[in-house]
Structure 1
Amino acid sequence: MQIGNFSFYSQDNFNAWKEKTHISQDLETNSFSQDDSSIQTTEDNQEKQEEDKNTQIVNGKELETDEVQYVRELESIDRNVKAHEAAHIAAGAGVVSGGASYGYTRGPDGKMYATSGEVPISMKKGKTPEETIQNARQIVAAAMAPADPSPQDYKVAASAMQMESQARTEQAQEQAQKNEETFKKQEEQEQQDQEKPFFDDSKRQYALQTYTQNQTSYQPKIEIAG
């Protein structure tokens, strides 16, 4: 099972948005076009100067304002995704079974940004109900460690809590069985004590009493030869 953040920003979505924006701008420009060639030339020069002002160099590439904004957004997502997965790993000692893996999106600057991620986690039971309960609690802690748990994180935590509930049921059944075995042994011992012959005790008491009386009444006789 995986725990992780599945938010994803697609370059295709950005390109579609950008194309739509440019088409809208082109329609607006065409609706206000002038027949005077001198006026048109002046406007073209002004637009070019305006475009030059609105571009920035990011990671060695010249980007427009909207592209720069998109890169900044990707940078923020990249940081959040990696922090999210790091939180899972830090809190999942003993249950996290590997490192984080990421899905990437290429930005307008040509750089790859992490926009999704996941961490493998083991949902195995322990050898005893007590071990299973401990594992389940560790899984919940790992799944809910990030500041912004994803829907998948909540799903993993719910599965772990169900596993703990089942382990507690098994624990109660085992304890009930132990109590029953102990009670049965006590009953058997009491039954044996009740079936023990009474005359055996009487004989022992009679023998002890007789021996004691003989010891106290016995007086040695001393005869002197003359």
Structure 2
Amino acid sequence: MDINRISASSTFSFDSAKAKPLAGTTAQTNGTETQDTSDNKALVEKEKSRALSEADAAQLTKLQARDRAVRQHEMAHLAASGALATSGASFTYQKGSDGVSYAVGGEVGIDTSPGSTPEDTIARARQIQAAALAPADPSGQDRAVASQAAQMEIVARTQLAAQSGADSGNTEAREQAIKVQRAYSEPVTESLINVYA
């Protein structure tokens, strides 16, 4: 058929017996079924690679979201810890299918040692609590650090009350402060606790 002869009103016929079947389909030719297996295999491989790339894309999306969340979490700890931070944020990474490393965990070191006076210890305990609970979604480890800081604050307050009671001669207040101090004075085994995302 000459392309120059075809006009807008021209029609042409299609001979289905001479047409090549589509990949992955079966055609009837003279009463027997034939299948183009090489085209079919190529289509199957293409579908597999597309499925893998869709799975990879889904994984990358999750890794990117986790990376953002972990970095925000650790930066919140770092910003609230101020001078008590013993290190910057450090991260644990996982490599994605694109070859990029994504943060999936992290920590910020915070000095949890008591201050030189009960007043200083109270201030430090409050800052430790604020740093531990700074992220929008504190982890179990974050809550444990905040709890230890709250206990440290209670002990410092009882020490302060005991000092005030001794200074004023109020033995009853002093005895009560000593009881409270004994109840809450579990020794802190480490002066450095890592806060994890």
Q: Which category describes the TM-score, using the shorter chain as reference length?
A: 0.5 to 0.7
- How far did 1:86 drift? 0.4
Cα offset for 1:49? 4.1
Runs of 4+ more than 6 Å apart: none
Q: CA deviation at 1:66?
A: 0.1
| Equivalent-residue separation in structure 2 for 1:156 and 1:49 (angstroms) | 52
Residue 162 of structure 2 is matched in structure 1 by: 173
Gaps of 5+ in 1: 1-35, 56-62, 182-226
Q: In the aligned structure 2, how far is the partner of 1:37 from the partner of 1:112?
A: 49
2: CA distance, partners of 1:95 / 1:124: 9
Could you say if the C-alpha distance between residues 139 and 45 of structure 1 is closer, same or farther in structure 2, counting changes exceeding 3 Å? same
Report which structure shows greater RCO (CA 8 Å, sep ≥6).
1
Q: Which has the larger radius of gyration?
A: 1
- Choose the corresponding residue for 1:155, options 138, 144, 158: 144
What secondary structure does 1:127 align onto? coil
What percent of counterpart residues are identical?
41
User: How far is 1:94 from its partner?
Assistant: 2.3
Q: Which residue of 2 aligns with 1:50?
A: 47
TM-score normalised according to structure 1 size: 0.57
- Aligned-CA RMSD value: 2.0
**Cα displacement (A) at 1:89:** 0.8
Partner of 2:80: 91
* Structure with more of its chain in helix, by fraction: 1
Deviations, residues 12-47 of structure 1 (Å, cap 9, x unaligned): xxxxxxxxxxxxxxxxxxxxxxxx873544432332
Task: Normalising by structure 2, report the TM-score.
Answer: 0.65
Deviation of the 1:175 alpha carbon: 0.5
Cα distance change on mapping 1:37 and 1:149 into 2, 3 Å: farther
Aligned residues: 138
Confirm or deny that 1:146 pairs with 2:143.
Answer: no
Segments of 5+ residues of structure 2 without an aligned counterpart are 1-32, 171-197
